Amino acid sequence: MEAPKLDFLFYPRSVAVIGASNVPGKIGNSIMRSITLKFDGKVYAVNVKGGEVEVNGKRFKVYRSIREIPDEIDVAVIAVPAKFVPDVIDECGEKGVKGAVVISAGFKEAGRVELEEELVRRAKKWGIRLVGPNCLGVTNLENGFDCNFNPPERQARPPAGKIAFMSQSGAFGAAILDWAANHEIGMSKFISLGNMADLDESDFIAYLGEDEKTGVITGYIEGVKDGRKFFNVAKEVTLKKPIIVLKAGRTEAGAKAAASHTGSLAGSYKIYEAAFEQTGVLSAKSMRQLFNYAKALAMQKPAKGNRVAIVTNGGGAGVMMSDGLLERGMKLAELSDETNERFRKDIEEGKLPHHMSYRNPIDVIGDAPSSRYELAMRYALEDPNVDVLVVIALFQSPALDEGIVEAMVRMGEYGKPIVFVAPGGDYPHRMARRMEKEAGVPVYETVEDGVDAVYALVKYGEWLRENEKL
């Protein structure tokens, strides 16, 4: 499938907010606040009542119709009662609008299927592409175009990054953005899919597959609109970049809830699982797992195999990591005779302590400074039997100095994927942020999160190798 040309939705030069309001708390007011905060394109307010809107210290004349605006409009953001939306689409068509983000609810999800069909019919007549209806909006973290109606003091926006996220649930999508911001996870674009009356998850996957700013595509999905279309698009896009899906409606009760939520038919979860496996889509079971996978794949190359080496200053954490990796189908790398000999020689010469273990997990012991870590990491990464390296650092030990960050930067020269685990509170958190920014290595708070990260790197690497892309 050829990717739809949707740049106008994410990089508009001019936007009209239809249903703009000067009343704080109204959705039309919140959308105006969001759009005018960082976006430097032209923004116009539209409301049949006319008047003025003042937001973010800026004043906007309110036009009674989009047709009155003395400028071309790329995108209309519509937040008026559902029954008026088809007529508003006609006005947008007369104005030459390319795309409409329909925030308004009260369509298929409320049993008004005919109204939604009429909305689509009018949009097709004018060649307008629709997002929604019944959606939260779209956000481009790169250029600040943001028509999400949740105000920033209630729902933070993450920094710009490589992860795109689309959601069939607006509220869940908002929570994801807030969570990502709190964890400093960079995102490229956010799309609230809503009812998918026109543009669906497959269209956006195809578009994001060609988007240079997006490295990983993620989504919360209750049900796909067109199974065959999704299958074909996903199979093609996963050969270029990873797709991670959190599929809701896995149980019968969940599927019924999805139908009443966005009018989505969830279908048998086993069918979805089979489709994900056949198309290379990674299936996440929780929000946390979704971003554990995404962060790893956004920051590291896929693994060329499933053999993992562990370097740790805590024996217990190494054991837990070993269990977790084996339970998820990975292997502990069997270090080569040459690597073992290097460790033995360094111990004999006093470069490494006699009481450390180097059989993998490589336990550098609780009194290890960064220099000891670096030696162990180098030996592991230089071993041809190692595909992925996991580094566990218990920063509670006073021996572990901040030189570990510079050491991790140097480990990048080996070109093998690395996952870092740093459990604890404030100090480990600060070191983790430095590690990610300076070394480009993803850091996780728990062993279990680290296992997720390794799994994603290995599983996606397997898919690429099966298709001769790695």
7-297: CATH topology is: Rossmann fold (3.40.50)
58 token code pair: 């800026």
What gap in Å lies between CA 64 and CA 390, rounded to an integer? 60
If you classify domain 301-467 with CATH, what class do you get?
alpha beta
340 token code pair: 């073992």
According to the model, what pLDDT value does residue 266 have? 47
According to the model, what pLDDT value does residue 250 have? 63
Of 258, 266, 390, whose CA–CA distance to 325 is shortest?
390
pTM of the model: 0.94
What gap in Å lies between CA 162 and CA 316, rounded to an integer? 34
What gap in Å lies between CA 343 and CA 76, rounded to an integer? 65
181 phi/psi in degrees, rounded to 5: -65, -45
What gap in Å lies between CA 167 and CA 246, rounded to an integer? 9
What gap in Å lies between CA 140 and CA 312, rounded to an integer? 39
The domain spans of the chain are 7-297, 301-467
Are 373 and 367 a contacting pair, CB within 8 Å? no
60 phi/psi in degrees, rounded to 5: -130, 130
Radius of gyration of the chain (CA): 25
Helices first, then strands: H and E counts in the chain: 16, 20
6 phi/psi in degrees, rounded to 5: -120, 20
Instruction: Say how many C-beta atoms besides its own lie within 10 A of residue 114's C-beta.
Output: 10
Q: Can you tell me which residue has the tokens 């049993």? A: 111
68 token code pair: 């009155």
Are 149 and 38 a contacting pair, CB within 8 Å? no
Q: pLDDT truncated to tens, each residue of the chain (470 aa)?
A: 889 999 999 999 999 999 999 999 999 999 999 999 999 999 999 999 999 999 999 999 999 999 999 999 999 999 999 999 999 999 999 999 999 999 999 999 999 999 999 999 999 999 999 999 999 999 999 999 999 999 888 899 999 999 999 999 988 888 889 889 988 899 999 999 999 999 999 999 999 999 999 999 999 999 899 999 999 999 999 999 999 999 987 666 545 555 554 455 445 778 999 999 999 999 999 999 999 999 999 999 999 999 999 999 999 999 999 999 999 999 999 999 999 999 999 999 999 999 999 999 999 999 999 999 999 999 999 999 999 999 999 999 999 999 999 999 999 999 999 999 999 999 999 999 999 999 999 999 999 999 999 999 999 999 999 999 98
According to the model, what pLDDT value does residue 261 have? 47
H/E run at residue 188: strand 187-192
Same fold, 7-297 and 301-467: yes
